[in-house]
Amino acid sequence: MWFKNCLFYRLSEDLNWDEDSLASQLEKQKFSPCGKREPSKYGWVSPLGQEHEQLQHWSNGCFMICARKEEKILPAAVIKDKLLEKVQLIEAREDRKVYRKEQQSMKEDIVHDCLPQAFTRSQRTFAFIDTRNHWLYIDASSHGKAEALINLLRETIGSLPLTLPQVQESPAVIMSQWLRAEDVPHDIVLGNECELREFGEEGSILRCKNQDLLSDEISQHLDAGKQVVKLALNWQDSVQMMLGDDLSLKRLKFSDKLINEGEEAGDADPIARFDADFSLLSAEFARLTPSLLDWFGGRRADPI
């Protein structure tokens, strides 16, 4: 349940979240497995695990949800071989050329026929909404994966006005200044990993690992016009992360102290442990988010 990555979004309206009505709305979009000829299914499952029915879990004004995606695995090479075999058979038997439009129709038929025998793979995406501070946090490393959950949530509740977090100053510019030891925030320690990029269609990219980021070597790349687009940080000895210039948080690692607090509070009861972990996670993001925005001049006001 501890997030490994995080993309967060601003709730631009003060929505009224009601636990009972939300429960009934989530139930209408509850996950069910793929049928024999369905390529994929997407819906809500319990964040507490498959042995539980509850589709939301509330704690201190925040609620956790979990989306599950199941999809059939149809190797492209297998479909291609079957299509080629069918095309060659028709061309030989009927002495004619099979053109692209007909091949596409044949390919769709092949996929349809193969679906019942296909293996499936499944993945879960956790997210929570902080109703007090108006943020949506999604454990996703890509905006595509996050958008899938957002779209499902919009289908579920009818409306969800969201914006990506906007800040006053360019994160790439500010993080580049940090590597010159300029105005590094007091609550972070720079790590030993970063990605520098020269902007433009043919701009070069430099990825550094196990590197002194304040070295002359890095400064030379900054002088040559590169800017920081990813930077390893440690915030208050509590959370390690790879911060992107789009404010994405990847490779999150929470401190042992924080993890142990959840273990002690939850003891042997899985639900109590989940509740303790979620309380700690949501509280940590509630502390981290305003600090992160302040690093880049603060949050820009929502558009009117």
Would you write out the chain's pLDDT as a tens digit for each of its 304 residues? 899 999 999 998 778 888 999 999 999 999 999 988 889 999 999 999 988 999 999 999 999 999 999 999 888 898 899 899 888 999 899 889 989 999 999 998 898 888 888 888 999 999 999 999 999 999 999 999 999 999 999 999 988 999 999 999 999 999 999 999 989 999 999 999 999 999 877 789 999 999 999 999 999 999 999 999 999 999 999 999 999 999 999 999 999 999 999 888 766 688 889 999 999 999 999 999 999 999 999 998 765 5
The per-residue pLDDT for 267 is 67
Q: Token match 């939300």: residue?
A: 22
Name residues whose C-beta falls within 8 Å of residue 276's C-beta, 6 or more positions apart in sequence.
Answer: 261, 262, 265, 266
DSSP strand pairing (62-73 vs 40-45): antiparallel
Alpha helices in 224-269 (DSSP H): 256-266
Sign of CA dihedral 246, 252, 257, 259: positive
The backbone region for 193, taken as left when phi is positive above 0, alpha when psi lies in -120 to 50, beta otherwise, is: beta
pLDDT at 16: 82
Q: What is the pLDDT of residue 266?
A: 63
Alpha helices in 185-255 (DSSP H): 216-223
Ramachandran bin of 209, using left for φ above 0, alpha for ψ from -120 to 50, beta for the remaining angles: beta
CA angle 3, 287, 256 (to 5 degrees): 50
Alpha-carbon torsion 32, 33, 37, 42, what sign? Answer: positive
